[in-house]
Amino acid sequence: MIFMVQDSYDVIIIGGGPAGSTVARYSAEGGANVLVIDGRDPIGSPLQCGELVPTNDEMRRLCPDVPDMDDLFQTPVHAISRKSTKMHIVPPSGKPLEFNFDGLVLNRVAHDEALVEMAKQCGAEFLVDEYVESVVENSVKLRSGKSIKAKIIVGAAGHSDPLRRDYWDEKSLKIPVKFVLMDGDYGDAVELHFGSMAPGGYAWMFPKSSGANIGLGIQKSFSRGKSMNKYANEFISKYDGEISFRGAGSLPMSGTIKNFVKGNYLLVGDSAGMVLPSNGAGITIAMVGGRIAGQVIAEHLKDGVPLSDYEKRWNKQMGKVMRNSKRSFKIGSILFRLPDSLLNILFNPLTRGIIWRAVTCRRMFWIF
Ligand SMILES: Cc1cc2nc3c(=O)[nH]c(=O)nc-3n(C[C@H](O)[C@H](O)[C@H](O)COP(=O)(O)OP(=O)(O)OC[C@H]3O[C@@H](n4cnc5c(N)ncnc54)[C@H](O)[C@@H]3O)c2cc1C
């Protein structure tokens, strides 16, 4: 069905990934007239992801202040490749510490398509294959030359978001990430690897129903001149299946920026730094932020609720988890400069509780 883009909307959302589609879903559900603009067609392709998310139960444990997870996360069965119940945290020695972890390894493309569908069902419109060049006052300027107005403009375009680029003067640490999809049988446990194989970051192996998603991210300042490609090839070549897909991207790893709202502009998802740095979780966290932003936008348009309530509600729901995650990442960044031989000693049954608390964004010790 071809739809006619109007000249103006209540809300324009730049980017229809997990963050943007979720803002669209909740603001449209609350009565707003919403347009999402995305440069890709279809949204979500090509794949740029490790594809692991916690189950709803695991999210309740990780983020206890976020309400009503089952309304927010309605992952359809066809978007789930495999359920996992174990996580292995693997030091350089290769001898894993094993933890119970309820995770879903997704078919991420199908997952993002389902979020777009949910937003459409609530009444949001989508304009795809159209890049946003810039935003000037209330106008969103498209690469095709068209310009569309909105009362509220949301930047949900990830690390290259045009609103963030032009109106926020805050730097975030971004780590480059590479991954492959590989054929083979890799068991049930998801694996996170730490050490010199992924300096300042981590490597992963997430088993799918068939094959696995395998990749890593590094901090370039830790890499001692060795290229990202070399790190990626070395880690990936430990597994010996056929590679059916190669992808890359970048992850914001310094946590959320100070303010998400400036006048009638809002940022959400990766553009606002909504990734938990201690474990790289961005999909579900972008959706938590997206729901809050969407609800506040709808209440603002209907009842004049200030847009700054978005930041207040975020801090209430996610502030503690994000602070703990940032702290763990900073401590981890120092620890992971240590030689592998020392890391092998540090990852032991006595420290496993502390390591698990760090990865799951809780205070590592009772004092910090
Ligand atoms: C390689 C890799 C592996 C990852 N693995 C995991 C994982 O296993 N689990 C996890 O939870 N998170 C993972 N993440 C992080 C996760 O993918 C992000 O945190 C999440 O996608 C953030 O959602 P978002 O909607 O903010 O941004 P995105 O998903 O990046 O969506 C942004 C959208 O904006 C569009 N866009 C960009 N610029 C413009 C423009 N100028 N005009 C119009 N549209 C535009 C893009 O086309 C895109 O559709 C990974 C990230 C990478 C790069």
- Tokens 């032991």 correspond to 348
Of all protein residues, whose CA lies closest to atom 16 belonging to ligand 1? 282
Residue in this structure with the two tokens 């509220």, named with its chain if needed = 152
Is residue 164 pLDDT above 90, yes or no?
yes
Whether residue 364 has pLDDT greater than 60: no
Cα–Cα distance, 62 to 85 (Å, whole number): 15
Pocket probe for ligand 1: among 14, 40, 49, the residue whose CB has the most ligand atoms within 8 Å is: 49
C-alpha radius of gyration, the chain, whole number: 20
pLDDT for the residue numbered 361: 67
DSSP 26-44: HHHHTT--EEEEESSSSTT
Higher confidence at residue 356 or residue 300? Answer: 300
Give yes or no for residue 367 having a pLDDT over 70.
no
Coil, helix or strand at residue 1: coil
3-state SS assignment for residue 310: helix
pLDDT band at 366 (very low <50, low <70, confident <90, very high): very low
CATH for 8-359? 3.50.50.60
pLDDT in tens, 283-328: 999 999 999 999 999 999 999 999 999 999 999 999 999 998 898 8
Task: Evaluate if residue 125 carries a pLDDT over 60.
Answer: yes
CA-to-CA dists, residue 132 to 4, 10, 128, 153, 249, angstroms: 18, 17, 11, 12, 20
Per-residue pLDDT of 61-110, as tens digits, reads 999 999 999 999 999 999 999 999 999 999 999 999 999 999 999 999 99
Could you tell me which residue, 353 or 292, shows the higher pLDDT? Answer: 292
Ligand 1, residues at Cβ distance < 6 Å: 14-20, 37-40, 43, 48-53, 131-132, 156-158, 160, 162, 177, 179, 249-251, 269-270, 275, 280-284, 286
- What is the Cα–Cα distance from 100 to 87, expressed in whole angstroms? 6
Residue 368 pLDDT exceeds 90: no
- For a pLDDT cut of 90, what percent of the chain falls above it? 80
The region of weakest confidence among 141-155, 202-216, 292-306, 351-365 is: 351-365
Ligand 1 center to 277 CA (angstroms):
15
- Provide the mean pLDDT of the chain: 93
Instruction: Answer whether 20's CB lies under 8 Å from 14's CB.
Output: yes
State mean pLDDT over 206-226.
92
Q: Indicate which residue's Cα is closest to atom 19 of ligand 1.
A: 282
Q: What is the mean pLDDT of residues 25-29?
A: 98
